[in-house]
Amino acid sequence: MKTIPKGYEGSAMKVLWAPWRMGYILSNDKDNGCVFCPGKDRGRDGERLILWAGHYTVVLMNRFPYNNGHLLVAPVKHVSELEQLNNKESADLLGMVRKSIEVLKEVMNPEGFNVGLNLGRVAGAGMEEHLHFHVVPRWNGDTNFMTVLGDVRVIPEHLKVTYKKLLPYYRESK
């Protein structure tokens, strides 16, 4: 007979095994500051899923994506508001959003995109102290029964596989 822990009676507890997350849980990344600040050491870019770190802008893969190819594009300057960027920084940021869409079209052939910027906690900014764009490729049917009924998102390709596919397109820019 199955014993239900106290407090869980009558609930439909869902278990989703994700052993790949253990590496993240045990890592020291949480103590290394802002995930969007690229720092000077390019030796850890693969580990941090950084595709591009330029003078003004950084592009990295979202470690907890909505879809395969979900990218984050942020200014290198640590700011929380668009008006804190000068014109050159703003132009470079939007240019890398555009470049990211072009790369994703070439590599992943999406049918559309969600591109968004959440400013402030009430707008949904998870890291409100460092603004960033989300670039999310979309395909017809990418929200399926697992998401709708099971409240579970299925990501069919491992992050590191997608990273290896995208990286050459950003290296060309350097």
Residue whose C-alpha is closest to residue 70's, from 145, 139, 148: 139
Whether 67 and 142 have beta carbons less than 8 Å apart is answered as yes
130 in catalytic set: no
At residue 82, the 3 state secondary structure works out as: helix
Residues 106-121: pLDDT tens digits? Answer: 999 999 999 999 888 8
Left, alpha or beta for 155 (phi > 0: left; psi -120 to 50: alpha)?
Answer: beta
Whether 54 and 44 have beta carbons less than 8 Å apart is answered as no
Residue 4: which pLDDT band, with cuts at 50, 70 and 90? low
Whether 56 and 77 have beta carbons less than 8 Å apart is answered as yes
Read off the tokens for 26. Answer: 């045990």
pTM: 0.78
CATH class of 19-171: alpha beta
Which residue in the list 70, 130, 132, 134 is annotated as catalytic?
132
